[in-house]
Amino acid sequence: MGEPERDSLLTRADGLRLVALCAQAEIALVRRDPMAGPLLAQAARAGEGRRAGHALALAAGIARAVDLADRAPGPSACRKVAQALCRLALQEAQAEVLAS
């Protein structure tokens, strides 16, 4: 998934930080919490260069483009896709930490 570039240069603490941000962003998306956008932006920065990075960059882009609290079909579909991207990123980040 994505294109790992500098995994080996990052610490376990970086991995744990990324896990926390992904998990927080995912539940914020589920709850349509306005914190979802900022959390995704932070997660995307924390994920730069990691296997989770591309998915998080896409999710953060979606959050910038759409009102994630809007319950209309289009924005709801976008929010669900952002959730799926968060799950992917969280899995990658957790796998990295568990394997370290």
Partner 1 sequence: MTGRVFGEDAAALAGPGMPVGDLFDLEQAVDDGLGLPARGLWMDAHVHLGRDRDGHTLDLPGLLADLERFGIASAVCFPPDDPGPGGQFAQANDAVLAAAAAAPERVRPFCRLDPGRPWRDELERVAAAGACGIKLHPIAQRFRPEGEECVAVVRAATELGWPVLLHAGYGARPLAGPVAALTEAVPRARLILAHAGRGDARALAAVAASAPGVVFDTSLAALPDLVALPPGRLCFGSDRPYGDYASALHLIDAAARVAGWSDRDVEGVMWGNLSGILS
Instruction: Give me the residues that bind partner 1 (CB under 8 A), please.
Output: 1-2, 54-55, 58, 61-62, 64-66, 71, 73-74, 76-78, 80-81, 84-85, 87-88, 90-92, 94-95, 98-99
Asked whether the beta carbons of 53 and 2 are under 8 A apart, the reply is: yes
Q: What single-letter amino acid sits at 22?
A: C
Locate 43 and state its tokens.
């997660």
Asked whether the beta carbons of 96 and 7 are under 8 A apart, the reply is: yes
> Measured from the CB atom, is 40 or 88 closer to partner 1?
88
Greatest Cα pair distance, the chain, in angstroms, is: 42
CB 10 to partner 1: min, Å: 18
CB 85 to partner 1: min, Å: 7
> Measured from the CB atom, is 69 or 95 closer to partner 1?
95
